[in-house]
Amino acid sequence: MSFLEFVEGIFFQIAAVIFLLGVVWRMIGLLRIKRKKDISPPKASAAMGFLKGNLRHFFPRGIFARRTWVHLVGGYGFHFGLLAVIIVGAPHVAFLKTQFLGFDWWVMPRWGFIVAAEITFAGLILLWVRRISDPVMRLISQPSDHMGTGLTFMVMLTGCLALQESHDFLRAIHMLFVDIWLIYFPFSRLMHAFTFFLSRGHSGATYGRKGINL
């Protein structure tokens, strides 16, 4: 078995299982957290507050937009760019078809993949620069935040190096970082990709039940 076969085969399968089990375990843990019963009479719908709490946070209020534009541009650029590269990037679709699914779907043209990757890189770098330059962000940041950013950057960088498919070693290095990233994901703040709607929704439901307009 070659190194490429190992990182794309058994090691990837192990990493994927750890990723899935870790995410499920973390989500169940959050959902099982008990909270004090609110004995005050509800003034509005908590369910509607949950929904509004999620939707409202996608767009900053006008008074804060100028101060948060870096976070907004970098965040949307990185997350939507990464989502596009993963879901409709031709190399990833081909890998999933060959290794697991047996079918494919529409993929971006090569130029679209490159543009999306560049936007993703720019967004990630912008967010990290903000993290190390903003006094408040520096204060609330932990080493795990920088490690998550570094791992994500290395996954993307090695993926770009492997894009030409000029050498199996480059592809193997990319897959190695992918496997490490998958294993690290559930035990880090990268989990916010799955938990953000719960935290936003919880606040929204609390305020919504009290009749506070978000």
Runs of H (alpha helix) within the chain: 3-8, 10-31, 46-56, 62-65, 69-88, 90-96, 110-133, 135-140, 143-162, 168-184, 192-209
Residue type, 179: D
- Superfamily, domain 3-209: Transmembrane di-heme cytochromes, Chain C (1.20.950.20)
Nearest CA to 208 out of 56, 96, 95, 101 is that of: 56
Q: CA–CA distance from 139 to each of 115, 124, 134, 173 (Å)?
A: 33, 19, 9, 34
Q: Is 2 helix (H, G, I), strand (E, B) or coil?
A: coil
The domain spans of the chain are 3-209
Tens place of pLDDT for every residue, the chain, 214 residues? 788 889 988 999 999 999 999 999 988 887 777 777 766 666 666 666 667 665 666 676 666 666 667 777 888 899 999 999 999 988 889 888 887 788 888 989 999 999 999 999 999 999 899 889 888 888 888 888 899 999 999 999 999 888 877 788 888 999 999 999 999 999 988 888 887 767 766 666 666 566 666 5
User: How long, in residues, is the chain?
Assistant: 214
Residue 204 to residue 198: CA distance in whole angstroms: 10
